Structure 1
């Protein structure tokens, strides 16, 4: 009883930690067994490591490693239970390395087990001989080993829990996931560090039920979590919700909360779950939703575009094919002339639709580029007046123009886009005005930094409703009724707005049903430099019969169209079917004027021109080369210039621009001869 009392006093003492208990147990064991050395070891396969030791001279330090086979403990582990012997020098193990090295005459030890696994050993030994160990000694050493096994198991489990807890804390931090628990018996709430961090409260903050719910944003978030908690307590239903909270620092966050209930019989005793900050992912999700909506809108726009364009293209195509078909058997010159005019007008409409679609595509893809030049500003509006005046003749609508811009006002801007803006507005005004007038007013004003071009286009037409004004500049928008259906792609005003804003300007519209519409534009415009103006007389002789001309195009129809147009100018041209063919013909014959297509097989127009220029087959001073292509971008124009071409004409072309090319070629020949 004395042994058990002392053993109990040591192992149950609350004033001693584990290390001190080990020391006292080893000292107690040396006293009980009357031996000199006490060791607790850790065994890994064939390695014997000293964890704790008491020796007479303290020479054996923790961490000392031995070969297991060189210790008496190898026999203890082999036996699987307590083992003891004395008078080693007279025993069968007298040749054991442990005896040879340390002359240990007496030994008693037992394996320390954790579950079914060997952890190590506890053993006592001495160089002096002892009496034979009795059964009590075996029981004592087994008791030592069992207690040590239990303590080591507890320590390992504790260390693993600490490690797991630390890992969990790290994972919580990395994943922004916290944990929480509600004890419904004690009415207490536990929040992990990460949960507190998400709520932006201090580490010593103690949550309570009502206060915890108040963190949820008022409205659907607070209502949904309250309903989820109620359903969990009453029915055991789990929840997994994305909700908004307002933190202690008044920051609104999106969180994902998971929760479930624990029951004891029919009573819910605990709620527990996780709490994660998902603000970033929710924002990303919202962004993806917006992008998806935008993609769907673009897809819908494209479908509308295809449907609208398909419908609109058929009208001018019908005019072209219909008129040309009926010309085949028509002998009246007057009727033929009328039908040709209708076909040409339909072709103009077709080209206008195509240009609108191309402009809309450029705007959508951010490819729209301005091409500013120096020009007289007033001439744009003078030319537009001349162009639109005939269109008003056969209508009940009058065109009024108030152009107060100075005759010598030179500006530097994109005259083509400026003309397109005003042209679209005038066309739109005429289209939706049955009676009354359309007015164009233009003026220049000055602000602090630059001059402003002011444009006003007003009409007395049908006007627009307030609802329609909201979507006026959206693509494909048109306000039509059954009595007065007007055609068009619905892209015109959308393009106007984009062009005005792209040029740094602003556009406003005032309208009321049956009271007309007014568009007000203000566009900053840069002052330009006066240019020497070309003086091409209208009665200039454009007879090009003296010119040697080559037409280069891989398309049969394009060649026929160009030949027919040149015939009007008394020009008989040779032809080449690609760039390679053109180079061969130029080697054989001199040409004053070459119309060069750009996109052709074998050798395109760019490379053919470069070759003709670089090899002096057609030097600049001898041959005038005109690009004639369906590609119309500023990059295409630049590429033509860099290749060595003198002029750029886009398809489809009209006779006046072809006439200008011939005049330029005649002037070029005259200058260099």
Structure 2
């Protein structure tokens, strides 16, 4: 397998040097001066120099690798450091024992010289082999380094004691006149073998990336093996092979020093450089501006990847103070942040708005004191983050909250205004209806017309109030639409009776064709769609010509099958281009007020908002002098079809067909603090002689009268002076028999869904002010019929009388 790419360059250099050393051995073979130095004294200076160089390099290896544990580097550096401290001690003893050197403890000789040499080579080879075969992943540990050091010193001490004081224990290695012994040559070849095995192991490992400099270690063991080969071939202590072996040993030590130095010394610096590059890349990626400042506010360093966020270019900022580049107020803000960091170590959250090349931007400062206090020279690291977008988002949220608060205030105001306006309207419209309703009232034709004017004006004012409230709710998101599947034909059937009398009065014919969509269901709120249809149909009648036509047609949208299309076309005067542009502008009557046509200018605006809120669309197409077509597109319920139903009887029909038994009598209690409203309800009740009417001016009085008279029907105003109508209801329900009382809420506050709210509170129904006389009479008739049914149930039933049997079997529900 080829070497990993991370080792190839270093291995090419190592193999080149090893190849040169091999070539040197070949060349030496043919040199004419094989005998080297003639006298041992001539070789002594060279030998001493080479050995001292080797000792120094070995000590440097120890110094470099001893602290490898502190950076969690591989333990190889620590093993080699401890081992080569011992090698340095043995090499020193070898040099001091060489012939011609002063006495080293005991008298030196060639035997002792060779013994120290072999011990040093054996220790070096063992350490290198261990490094080559041991797993490199395990890091150096502080506790283990002393163990390695003590072990090596113990081995070196043993060698010293044996070689100095017990030399006879060691086999002879060199004989004068004979040369090297077989033991010496065998020992040298064993050391060569250990180095070769180490080289092969390192070669295998370099097929993958390693955390240590394997190429330099490969050069070490290779050069050491060549050195040992030289020491197997010399004949005298000063011949050329001996000299070459010493030189090669120094070369191998240099390889080793490079391996340990690069791993322990250079590699951390390279790692620091890589970390520096990574830090710079990180800082470039971070949008924050990083500043180094002193206590005077002076800039000492500026870093930013976005120069547009700086007041001035970095070179122009350095050396200046914040007082030079910021206005006094902003400079005080920055200095306050620095002073806070001086006192507490850090400060954060300081915000200021500064003019930069991009315009006015908001910045947030995070300050950290750099190191300990150093007087006025204390430095700070300041991170300045552009928070303009965040401030804008916060401002938008605050603006939305303010708008929501304003909408709530507006809704409360309109609700209150509506209540205050509808309360007097209740009397105006109610008494006007009573005057027209009372057949016994003797009025001249002109007086009756005046009452009709009053009633019409009151109803117009009520319509305008309702429209304004509707528009306000829709715009504030309080429409509270509850969509459900329904058949559009039912809504059309309910809506047409509301406009047919006006159409008949103008001679306008109305044709309806919804047969294509009769069995399809739309997903809408029936009440709101009916409101829209009544408005559109009413406009089609009001703005039509006398004797005109209205056509209502339903179909499925061909381009968008998921929608039902309902078009209402009239043959009226139509609209011109200018009028079409202002069609959906609130309160814009488009000149209809000058024609005497009543309206508020809000109906179509509300219709559009409602249809869009239900997921539909409304479009208007008009041609002046020809007519107008309003098109509604409503969402269909997929896969659902309606079941044919019998149209419900309208209120006027119910009123006409209801027969109220004369013998039924009921008691009605009205809890109302407003005298006019109470008088109106009394006047309406007087139209039914069978009704006994009671009035209570506040909640406490109403509760007492209920306890005394047990009324059949209790009308409760929601806003009473002493307690709310809801509280009155709760106390009535808590009375004996109170659960069966029929209680109706009455209020001029129609915000939200007042009927649903009243039902959820426990009322049986809700009547809004102004009261409609016909509707109130219908409700009273229902209570009378129910009372009559109860009495009929208590009496013997005449089964021969169909009406009596029907009354018992099917009492009229509330």
Query: C-alpha deviations, 1:388-435, integer Å up to 9, x for none?
Result: 122134447554443437778777743221111012222333444446
The counterpart of 1:662, out of the listed 743, 766, 780, is 780
Relative to the length of structure 1, the TM-score reads: 0.50
SS in 1 for 2:745: strand
Checking the alignment, whether the CA contact within 8 Å between 1:178 and 1:193 is kept in structure 2 is yes
Aligned ranges for residues 188-199 of structure 1 at < 5 Å? 194=303, 196-198=305-307
Query: C-alpha deviations, 1:362-401, integer Å up to 9, x for none?
Result: 1122111125578764243234322212213444755444
Query: C-alpha deviations, 1:48-100, integer Å up to 9, x for none?
Result: xxxxxxxxxxxxxxxxxxxxxxxxxxxxxxxxxxxxxxxxxxxxxxxxxxxxx
CA 1:401 to 1:450, structure 2 compared with 1: closer, same or farther past 3 Å? closer
Partner of 1:653: 771
Consecutive unaligned residues in structure 2, runs of 5 or more = 1-282, 293-300, 317-353, 363-383, 794-814
Query: C-alpha deviations, 1:185-243, integer Å up to 9, x for none?
Result: xxxxxxx9656524699xx9999xxxxxxxxxxxxxxxxxxxxxxxxxxxxxxxx9776
**Offset at 1:464?**
3.8
The counterpart of 1:280, out of the listed 383, 389, 402, is 389
Partner of 1:589: 709
CA 1:350 to 1:403, structure 2 compared with 1: closer, same or farther past 3 Å? farther
Task: Please tell me whether residue 625 in structure 1 is matched to residue 734 in structure 2.
Answer: no
Checking the alignment, whether the CA contact within 8 Å between 1:375 and 1:530 is kept in structure 2 is no
CA 1:276 to 1:255, structure 2 compared with 1: closer, same or farther past 3 Å? farther
Task: Please tell me whether residue 378 in structure 1 is matched to residue 496 in structure 2.
Answer: no
Checking the alignment, whether the CA contact within 8 Å between 2:670 and 2:716 is kept in structure 1 is yes
Query: C-alpha deviations, 1:91-150, integer Å up to 9, x for none?
Result: xxxxxxxxxxxxxxxxxxxxxxxxxxxxxxxxxxxxxxxxxxxxxxxxxxxxxxxxxxxx
SS in 2 for 1:600: coil
Partner of 2:633: 522
CA 1:441 to 1:462, structure 2 compared with 1: closer, same or farther past 3 Å? same
Rounded Cα–Cα distance in structure 2 between residues aligned with 1:656 and 1:481: 31
Relative contact order (C-alpha < 8 Å, sep 6+): which is higher? 2
Aligned ranges for residues 521-670 of structure 1 at < 5 Å? 521-526=632-637, 538-542=656-660, 546-570=665-689, 571-620=691-740, 623-633=741-751, 636-670=754-788
Checking the alignment, whether the CA contact within 8 Å between 2:430 and 2:770 is kept in structure 1 is no
**Offset at 1:359?**
0.5
Rounded Cα–Cα distance in structure 2 between residues aligned with 1:321 and 1:487: 21
Rounded Cα–Cα distance in structure 2 between residues aligned with 1:560 and 1:360: 33
Query: C-alpha deviations, 1:466-489, integer Å up to 9, x for none?
Result: 455455334334433896576643
Partner of 1:424: 535
SS in 2 for 1:542: coil
Query: C-alpha deviations, 1:157-196, integer Å up to 9, x for none?
Result: xxxxxxxxxxxxx9xx8975999xxxxxxxxxxxx96565
Checking the alignment, whether the CA contact within 8 Å between 1:371 and 1:414 is kept in structure 2 is yes
Rounded Cα–Cα distance in structure 1 between residues aligned with 2:396 and 2:625: 42
Checking the alignment, whether the CA contact within 8 Å between 2:665 and 2:692 is kept in structure 1 is no
Rounded Cα–Cα distance in structure 1 between residues aligned with 2:392 and 2:760: 49
Rounded Cα–Cα distance in structure 2 between residues aligned with 1:612 and 1:573: 18
Consecutive unaligned residues in structure 1, runs of 5 or more = 1-169, 180-191, 208-239, 245-252, 257-274
More helix by share: 2
Task: Please tell me whether residue 392 in structure 1 is matched to residue 503 in structure 2.
Answer: yes
Checking the alignment, whether the CA contact within 8 Å between 2:748 and 2:770 is kept in structure 1 is yes
CA 1:383 to 1:174, structure 2 compared with 1: closer, same or farther past 3 Å? closer
Checking the alignment, whether the CA contact within 8 Å between 1:647 and 1:661 is kept in structure 2 is no
Checking the alignment, whether the CA contact within 8 Å between 1:625 and 1:645 is kept in structure 2 is yes
CA 1:284 to 1:546, structure 2 compared with 1: closer, same or farther past 3 Å? closer
342-351 vs 366-375, which deviates more?
A: 366-375
Rounded Cα–Cα distance in structure 1 between residues aligned with 2:574 and 2:403: 30
Rounded Cα–Cα distance in structure 2 between residues aligned with 1:586 and 1:205: 86
Relative to the length of structure 2, the TM-score reads: 0.42
Rounded Cα–Cα distance in structure 2 between residues aligned with 1:491 and 1:412: 24
**Offset at 1:562?**
0.7
Partner of 1:160: none
Rounded Cα–Cα distance in structure 1 between residues aligned with 2:659 and 2:749: 31
More strand by share: 1
**Offset at 1:557?**
0.6
Rounded Cα–Cα distance in structure 2 between residues aligned with 1:608 and 1:449: 53
Q: Rg: which structure is higher? A: 2
Task: Please tell me whether residue 365 in structure 1 is matched to residue 476 in structure 2.
Answer: yes
CA 1:581 to 1:486, structure 2 compared with 1: closer, same or farther past 3 Å? same
The counterpart of 1:343, out of the listed 454, 465, 468, is 454
Rounded Cα–Cα distance in structure 1 between residues aligned with 2:564 and 2:773: 33
Rounded Cα–Cα distance in structure 2 between residues aligned with 1:660 and 1:516: 40
SS in 1 for 2:565: strand
Checking the alignment, whether the CA contact within 8 Å between 2:494 and 2:530 is kept in structure 1 is no
Aligned ranges for residues 397-546 of structure 1 at < 5 Å? 398-404=509-515, 413-434=524-545, 437-443=548-554, 445=556, 452-466=563-577, 468-480=579-591, 484=595, 488-526=599-637, 538-542=656-660, 546=665
What RMSD in Å do the two structures reach over aligned CA positions? 5.3
483-492 vs 578-587, which deviates more?
A: 483-492
